[in-house]
Amino acid sequence: MSEIVVTLPDGTELPVEEGATVEDVAYEIGPGLGADTVAGVVDGELVDKASPVRDGATVVIVTDQSDEYLDVLRHSAAHVFAQALQRLYPEAKLAIGPPTDEGFYYDVTGVELDQEDLAEIEDEMESIVEEDLEIERELLSREEALEKYEDNPYKRDILENEAADEDPVSFFVQGEFEDLCKGPHVESTGEIGAVELLNISSAYWRGDEDNETLTRVYGTAFESESDLDRFLERREEAKERDHRKIGSEMDLFSIPEVTGPGLPLYHPNGKRILNELSDYAESLNLDADYEPVETPHLFRTELWKQSGHYDNYVDDMFLLDVNDEEYGLKPMNCPGHATIFDQHSWSYRDLPVRYFEDGKVYRKEQRGELSGLSRVWSFTIDDGHLFCRPEQIEQEIRQVMDSIFEVLETFGLDAHVALATRPEKSVGSDEIWGQAETQLRSVLENQNIDYDLEPGDGAFYGPKIDFSFEDALGRHWDGPTVQVDFNMPERFDLTYTGEDNEEHRPVMIHRALYGSYERFFMVLVEHFNGKFPYWLAPEQVRILPISDDQLGYAHRVKNELGDFRVEVEDRSWTLGRKIREAQEDRVPYMIIVGGDEEEAGTVSVRDRKEREEQDVSVEEFRSHLESEYEEKRIEPDFLDE
């Protein structure tokens, strides 16, 4: 039998027999690893251990000690839910039930469920776990599978689409229950240490509003009860930190029905924060020699056809007819920037050319996918595009990375970094892809940045480095990105004159330091629990006169503090109530003024950590505010000095 070669995580190449499975690869590495194998990751995709590997594939073996094991466990828990549901409600029809970042869900129909029903289903799930049923993979012919699901249009849809080229197709069986599935799964239901059903919602089949509405049941699973308890504690804290809840409490934004779905309104407090974020991003861009540009919200669709976005995004675009011409709200800013570059003649000496824009874009997400500010129809990208020679890619990527890490440090955020390489469908030569991937990897390794490799997950136009923010609760959110693009310069016929006086094609680099303002705003609200750093807070200082007699002095102090965002509490409340209100409003600093302070021309300063210092001169406090603002410190620290 002929051999193929697979690559292991450390770069080692391992020859195995053609047709070898993930489990076979594990046994080739060592019998202990083979016995412990639960699943595999082949070219970035989590697969069952019985899945065959292909020549040239990168293979990672998954055991119960691997990070991916929890996904496998939760996938099995989804099957346990489906089995429990059908024991209790035999009429229920199953659609699809994948693992998620926080657990799993299963879409079902044919049964009426509400939140009160979950406890009974959960009890049945625990019984199935206690039964310790072996989970076995079985193969059926396509004809047998279609016959089995004669009355289930959802499973037939899967067979006719995702599994269209498979014959036989795989099922997983546990006790009396079987389900169409590629896997992977744990060995038995008894390996699931703890399960909990969380909530019910509705969902469209395939996420398409034109399809049937299904019932979606969310749950989670862990190896132990203690892990589940920690998750539930974090989940409760996440509810308290929910940006929609805090946004209402602090009057930051709203998304009323009257505006339309996914179209947020920013109130004065929210806009103050956005202005600070924009000013900060602009300062980073100007320091890095980017030039500001602005593009309209609307373009003729000829532009989107030229860029290739029309073919890829037309279903997500807002289109309208104007005088028998089709226009579209822009889903991206890059074609506009490429068009600006194309309006000039460039020499190799001029490159790199760098543009930036806080560009509003529009994408028609399915209504069921909209969620607060994390996914909206209208959002703003702190977009940057630069045009450079191929040999300049590395230095430009390094500069972008420096800016991204400055953002992370400024906001006290950690990030997960991934290098996404060439997908199967792509444009550009092997040579330039190899050069770009090497340059991206070189930047990451030279700066000692830990990163994951995501083979085949790059954009069709080039490789990229993606960042995901990790917030105070350990959750990850998509954030900054750096993408190398060979496609757009080709489509727009962008050129520069080289040292040889010949025309050459520039490379286009896309980058965003935040990702989008909306999602970054959401991350900051929840990360800081609304307790924004002083420089970012919508209200930075609140002056609390002990009585109405000090209102005049309070306003004089406000005037002396200049342009900072300072308010005077002029309601006739007790001092205690004024302090509590400022604490609840998450104001970084409170200034207390009474008769003694007015007579001495001083103030008492209190922070939201309930620390206080008396007899502070207004000039001293103002000087501190100026330095704290300029240095963009994360925590108010006047009382640390």
Which residue ranges make up the annotated binding site for Zn(2+)? 334, 385, 510
CA triplet 87, 95, 205: central angle to 5 degrees? Answer: 145
List all residues 6 or more positions away from 108 whose beta carbon is below 8 Å from its beta carbon: 82, 85, 92, 93, 94, 95, 214, 215, 216, 217
- Name the nearest CA neighbour of 289 among 408, 194, 396, 185: 396
From CA 289, how far away is CA 306, in angstroms rounded?
29
List all residues 6 or more positions away from 508 whose beta carbon is below 8 Å from its beta carbon: 334, 338, 385, 386, 387, 484, 485, 486, 488, 489, 494
Backbone angles phi, psi at 517, to 5 degrees: -65, -40
- Say if residues 171 and 179 touch (Cβ distance below 8 Å): yes
From CA 110, how far away is CA 98, in angstroms rounded?
19
- Say if residues 398 and 425 touch (Cβ distance below 8 Å): no
C-alpha distance across the termini of the chain, in Å: 74
Q: Half-sphere exposure (CA, 13 Å, Cβ side) for 610?
A: 5
Name the E strands within 142-184. Answer: 169-174, 177-180
Dmax over Cα atoms in the chain, in whole Å? 96
- Say if residues 517 and 282 touch (Cβ distance below 8 Å): no
From CA 396, how far away is CA 292, in angstroms rounded?
18
Q: Kindly tell me the burial class for residue 439, based on how many C-beta atoms sit within 10 Å of its own C-beta (0-12, 13-18, 19 or more).
A: buried
Q: Give the alpha-carbon dihedral of 477, 478, 481, 484, to 10 degrees.
A: 150
From CA 279, how far away is CA 407, in angstroms rounded?
13
518: DSSP letter: H
- Residue numbers in the known binding site are 334, 385, 510
List all residues 6 or more positions away from 183 whose beta carbon is below 8 Å from its beta carbon: 39, 47, 48, 50, 51, 75, 137, 170, 172
**160 beta partners:** none
From CA 45, how far away is CA 39, in angstroms rounded?
10
From CA 83, how far away is CA 98, in angstroms rounded?
14
